[in-house]
Amino acid sequence: MGTVATREEVLAAAGRARVAAAELAPLTRGEKDAALHAMAEALVERTEEIVLANARDIAAGREAGLSEGLIDRLTLTSQRIAAIAAALVEVAALPDPVGEVVRGYRLANGLDLRQVRVPLGVVGMIYEARPNVTVDAAGLCLKSGNAALLRGSASAYESNQALVEVLREAASKAGMPQDAIQLVPGVDRDSVHHLMSARGLVDVIIPRGGAGLIQTVVENSTVPVIETGVGNCHVYVDASAELDMAERIVVNSKTHRPSVCNAAESLLVHADLVGSGGLDRLLRALDAAGVTLHADPAALARAEAVGVPAVAATEEDWAAEYLSMDMAVAVVDDLDAGIEHIRRWTSRHTEAIVASDERAIRHFVSRMDSAAIMVNASTRFTDGGELGLGAEIGISTQKMHARGPMGLAEMTSTSWICVGDGQIRS
């Protein structure tokens, strides 16, 4: 099966990726887009063999007792493969980030400076479950001139192998370097550790998956990591909020797609809204939408008063990323108390304020420490597609390099190019 790999095998793959990266960097947009189109066509043409490989993963998954939810996420159909291929074509339609001049000017001594986007080099992706990530990541890496080292989950190994074989063959025929796209050899835990130790060969590792996976990578990698995706997002409803808007935003942030990182997990309500009936209205709306409320004493009292079921919140609720139809609710004395609660408990992904008082909004925005801050809008907008980045390889929750949704530009570094006619320092 080739499912166990030595450190040497993983480093050799990284070394081949490094060679490919050098060849990818100077390619033109036209050359890369042609390859992306060829890859999309090959996926559709070779649907049958991909589905067959996928069937082996599914059979193994059922034997291992995977839940129906996970089996569904693992499953590739011809329809899904067509959608995955279409996403590659969409990536081809995006501008090439490589070569973009970030800034440039002429110095007093006549040197012409340009700070220009260049590929990162070799990008390692470590991810779980869905095989579509394999194709998405390969496409985004190729477009941004990076060599991709892909490490999907063991449960999708056969599917990922088939997909990568199809992509490699098509890319290579279209003139891309042989090893622009590779699966990391091995599916055991050791192979992940070998990848994380390949500093100098791999330029960055992007983990995508649950909190446990991300924590493991962050703590063990000597290769620089971009931390992604844990979202304990808050909605703060100010005393000055329009209640119609607040209800709409709170319900949408929580229930539109509760299983994703930009769904809201905690609701903070200004104390003035307890007496005014505003809190009651929000509790009723969440209950009507099917949300289980985890309430602090003040919110619990109002829930009981208006006949909405709720359970008492503990500290764990303030920290929880439920990813389900649960929401923690707290009443805060004022704006600063709301800010303090968020700064204490947030994972720094996305926070929203609903308010009409401009001074309150400015105060809130300047004191948040999160990747995205929504003013009178749903937390669900923190997404590369929604924010106009065109595509997304993940949502960074760290401050270094990239923060928030990462599109093609975030898959690049920069170089300073300084052109003179003999300038020296004196």
Taking the C-alpha atoms of residue 16 and residue 425, their distance in angstroms, rounded to an integer, is: 39
407 near its own copies, judged by CB under 8 A: no
State which of residues 322, 388, 391, 393 lies at the interface with its own copies (CB under 8 A): 388
Residues in the chain: 426
State which of residues 267, 295, 373, 391 lies at the interface with its own copies (CB under 8 A): 373
Beta strands (DSSP E) in 97-161 are 101-106, 112-119, 122-127, 147-151
State which of residues 213, 226, 279, 310 lies at the interface with its own copies (CB under 8 A): 226
65 near its own copies, judged by CB under 8 A: no
The CA-atom distances, in angstroms, between 368 and each of 12, 39, 235, 329 are 44, 42, 12, 19
Look up residue 168 and give its two tokens.
């490699």
State which of residues 83, 288, 311, 417 lies at the interface with its own copies (CB under 8 A): 417
Which range touches its own copies (CB under 8 A), out of 49-57, 81-89, 288-296, 417-425?
417-425
Q: What sign for the dihedral angle of Cα 371, 372, 373, 379? A: negative
**Closer residue to its own copies in complex, CB, 333/386:** 386
Q: Minimal distance in Å, beta carbon 357 to its own copies? A: 14
Q: What sign for the dihedral angle of Cα 254, 260, 262, 265? A: positive
Q: Which residues pair with 311 in a beta bridge?
A: 294
DSSP string, 69-84: HHHHHH---HHHHHHH
Q: Which amino acid is at 109?
A: N
- Measure CA 372 to chain center: 13
Q: Which amino acid is at 304?
A: E
State which of residues 4, 64, 86, 400 lies at the interface with its own copies (CB under 8 A): 400
Under a CB-based contact definition with an 8 Å cutoff, are residues 190 and 62 in contact? no
State which of residues 73, 248, 281, 284 lies at the interface with its own copies (CB under 8 A): 248
Q: What is the largest CA-CA distance in the chain?
A: 81
**Closer residue to its own copies in complex, CB, 44/218:** 218
Of 4-33, binders to its own copies (CB under 8 A) are 22, 25-26
Of 165-204, binders to its own copies (CB under 8 A) are 199, 203-204
For 395, the enclosing helix (H) or strand (E) is strand 394-396
Dihedral, CA of residue 61, residue 64, residue 69 and residue 70, to nearest 10: -50
245 near its own copies, judged by CB under 8 A: yes
Binding mask 293-332 for its own copies (x = CB under 8 A): ----------------------------------------
Look up residue 38 and give its two tokens.
């060829």
Under a CB-based contact definition with an 8 Å cutoff, are residues 355 and 241 in contact? yes
419 near its own copies, judged by CB under 8 A: yes
Binding mask 66-95 for its own copies (x = CB under 8 A): ------------------------------
**Closer residue to its own copies in complex, CB, 212/425:** 425
Look up residue 58 and give its two tokens.
């599914």
> Residue 151: phi, psi to the nearest 5?
-130, 90
249 near its own copies, judged by CB under 8 A: yes
State which of residues 155, 159, 382, 397 lies at the interface with its own copies (CB under 8 A): 382
118 near its own copies, judged by CB under 8 A: yes
Q: Minimal distance in Å, beta carbon 352 to its own copies? A: 9
Residues contributing to the site for its own copies (CB under 8 A): 22, 25-26, 105, 107, 111, 113, 115, 118, 120-121, 199, 203-204, 218-219, 222, 224-226, 242, 244-245, 248-249, 252-253, 256, 343, 365-378, 380-382, 386-388, 398-401, 403-405, 413-425
